[in-house]
A and B are shown apart, each in its own frame.
Chain A
Amino acid sequence: MKRIVILFTIFFFFLAANGQKYMTKNGYIGFFSHSAMEDIKGDNNQVAGVLDISTGEMVFQVLIKSFHFEKALMEEHFNENYMESDKFPKSTFRGKITNLSSVDFTKQGKSDVTVEGDLNMHDVTNKISAKGTVEVVQGGVIAVSKFNIVPEDYKITIPGVVRDNIAKTLEISVNMKYAPVGSK
């Protein structure tokens, strides 16, 4: 009897897990800073992310050192002075789609969503809310969002000399192409 219960549990777990979780290791997160002095853009194409379509939960994780800049000096300052990536190598977001019922994952199409959750970077965690879209496509789900953050909210101090070179709020772009877990 015990064995049957275990087997049944495993079977049920597989059934529940099958087709519910989507993931990618090649997602994109970028940030853009516009100021009168210069435009600064950092791109990260190594974002790991999981989306659970049964609960609407989303997890994103990046390595700070994977952000890439046009100029070598920008990348150095970003890592050493602002993000201190040797001390705080990773940034994580854990959140949830708040209006999951308005997304129909059974048919292709795009829906507007709002995601709320905790963004951790530079050893500081803040609640954030972002608007975006979730698009169900052949063989996957594409999630896209743009939102703003303020560096000072994450205890990132920018020296007065270069403060005018960096925007007060940074625009974050997210573009994730998820595939069902289990497919390569």
Chain B
Amino acid sequence: MKTYVKILLGVVVFIALGGIGAALYFFNLQHRNLGKAKPDFVITAIDLQKAFEENESAATAKFVNKVIEVRGSIESVKPGEGSILNVTLKTGSDLSSVICTFARDADPLKLNAGNQVSIRGECSGFLMDVLLNDCSLIK
């Protein structure tokens, strides 16, 4: 076999392996660890809930799909399916709050009603409450 054929073959194999590797990498990509992601907004739970209650469409355009670091006082902690934890933060309203869902790495010992916390998560929008997903406890 001529040298240039060998080199060409080597290049083709290299590209093919690279392509397969990249495809597998993107297919299996896990969620971003939002605990390390830079937040797009840092805001109190009171202000975040107020923004959605006053103008839902404007707040949706501004906050949804963004990483938000929300500060507030924990009203309640409720377990969901599996190891999920739902942490509700107090706001200015009795009926509406900010609900932060922790999918993993949640340490329930640090999450108690009355605690002042900073939680980072991705905003999904507003139902009766402002909903954050994929949350991490910052402090």
Supposing A28-B81, A71-B27, A71-B29 touch, asked if A45 and B86 sit within 8 A by C-beta, the answer is yes
A25-B129, A48-B128, A184-B76 known; A65 vs B64 contact (CB < 8 Å): yes
CB of A180 within 8 Å of the partner chain: no
Is A5 in the interface zone, CB < 8 Å from B? no
Chain A binding surface, main DSSP class:
strand
Q: How many residues of A contact B (CB 8 A)?
A: 23
Decide: B65 and A72 in contact? CB cutoff 8 A: no
Number of A-B contacts (CB under 8 A): 71
Q: Which of B32, B75, B81, B82 contacts A72 (CB 8 A)?
A: B32
- Cβ contacts A to B, 23 pairs, < 8 Å: A25-B88, A25-B99, A25-B128, A30-B81, A43-B81, A43-B82, A43-B84, A45-B80, A45-B84, A46-B86, A46-B127, A46-B131, A48-B128, A63-B124, A63-B126, A63-B127, A63-B131, A68-B133, A68-B134, A71-B29, A71-B30, A73-B29, A90-B127
A45-B81, A45-B101, A184-B76 known; A65-B29 Cβ under 8 A: no
Contact of A71 among B28, B82, B133 (CB under 8 A): B28
Cα distance A45–B131 when bound, in Å? 10
Interface residue count on the B side (C-beta < 8 Å):
31
Q: Residues of A with Cβ closer than 8 Å to B?
A: 25-26, 28, 30, 43, 45-46, 48, 61-63, 65-66, 68, 70-73, 75, 89-90, 175, 184
Chain B neighbourhood of A73, CB < 8 A: 26-27, 29
- The residues of B that contact A61 with a CB separation of less than 8 Å are 127-128
A140 to B51, CA, bound (A): 32
A-B pairs, top 9 by smallest CB distance, nearest first, are A45-B80, A65-B124, A66-B124, A26-B86, A28-B81, A26-B78, A63-B125, A72-B29, A46-B131
Other than the given A71-B29, A89-B60, 9 more pairs (CB < 8 A) read A43-B84, A46-B124, A46-B127, A61-B128, A63-B131, A68-B103, A72-B29, A72-B30, A73-B29
Q: Which residues of B contact A70 (CB under 8 A)?
A: 30
Q: Name the residue of chain A whose CB is nearest to the CB of B126.
A: A63
A129 to B129, CA, bound (A): 28
B88 — which chain A residues lie within 8 A by C-beta? 25
Considering the chains assembled together, what is the distance between the CA atoms of A30 and B81 in angstroms? 10
How many Å from the CB of A140 to the closest CB on chain B? 12
Chain A residues with Cβ below 8 Å from B110 are none
User: Contact: B81 with A65, CB < 8 Å?
Assistant: no
A184 touching B129, Cβ below 8 Å: no
Query: Which chain B positions have C-beta within 8 A of A25?
Result: 88, 99, 127-129
B31 CB within 8 Å of chain A: yes
CA distance A65 to B65 in the complex (A): 9
Shortest Cβ distance from A75 into B: residue: B31
Contacts of B127 in A (CB 8 A): 25, 46, 48, 61-63, 90
